[in-house]
Amino acid sequence: MESFFTKIENKDAFCKFIHECIDDLIGRRKIELKTYKGEIESSNEHFQKAVTIIQDLYSKTALSKTQKYELKVPNLKNEYQSCLQECYDIRKDEIEQCLFKKELSKCNQLFVENIDWKLKWIMGSSTLSTLNKPILQMQLHCLKRQSDITQPCIYFEMEVQQVEKLITALEKVQKKLIELK
């Protein structure tokens, strides 16, 4: 497979290829050989094998528990090796988040992907003319499986005391997560 990488004459084309492998890995955009007409001469089979090698290398590195990592592809030019490392360093967080989501989605449980919130001041109601009470409206965008088209949302409102309890509970969870690392 090293022969595929030696066919890439241009470092910029190699870096572009690496970034597009990552885009494909995280589900942003599918990588295709036709994008590289004139830059990479290869069969589709060799191209797909090279994509798989890069994605497997990055996935294994991101999932490894060790802090030190060295990305190596045999018989790759030194300048291309440095590009391989630089691309990983730049996109490491994206790769880890994507792999984490994939692992969570295997559990078939809801998990929060995004949070929207609004702070509102309630001035009154039909029963009380002067209420003057702050309300926090939360919207949790959840994901069960990445293949799901519709994402369930959880909506709720909280008063100040409830918000304080939520913050305390989240701080405890954060401490426990830090202890696990």
Mean pLDDT of 9-17: 85
List the structure tokens of 128: 């009380």
Q: Around Cβ 91, how many Cβ atoms within 10 Å?
A: 20
Could you state, in order of their start, the residue ranges of all structural domains in the chain? 2-106, 111-180
Beta strands 111-122 and 153-158 are unpaired
pLDDT confidence of residue 137: 94
The size of the chain, in residues, is 181
pLDDT confidence of residue 145: 64
pLDDT confidence of residue 2: 53
Give the H/E segment covering residue 156.
Answer: strand 153-158
* pTM for this predicted structure: 0.66
List the structure tokens of 174: 């954060």
Contacts of 150 (CB under 8 A, 6+ apart): none
Burial class (CB in 10 A: 0-12, 13-18, 19+), 51: buried
Q: Which of 60, 15, 9, 27 lies closest to 146, judged by CA?
A: 27
Residues 52-86 have pLDDT tens digits of 988 998 988 888 866 666 677 777 778 888 888 89
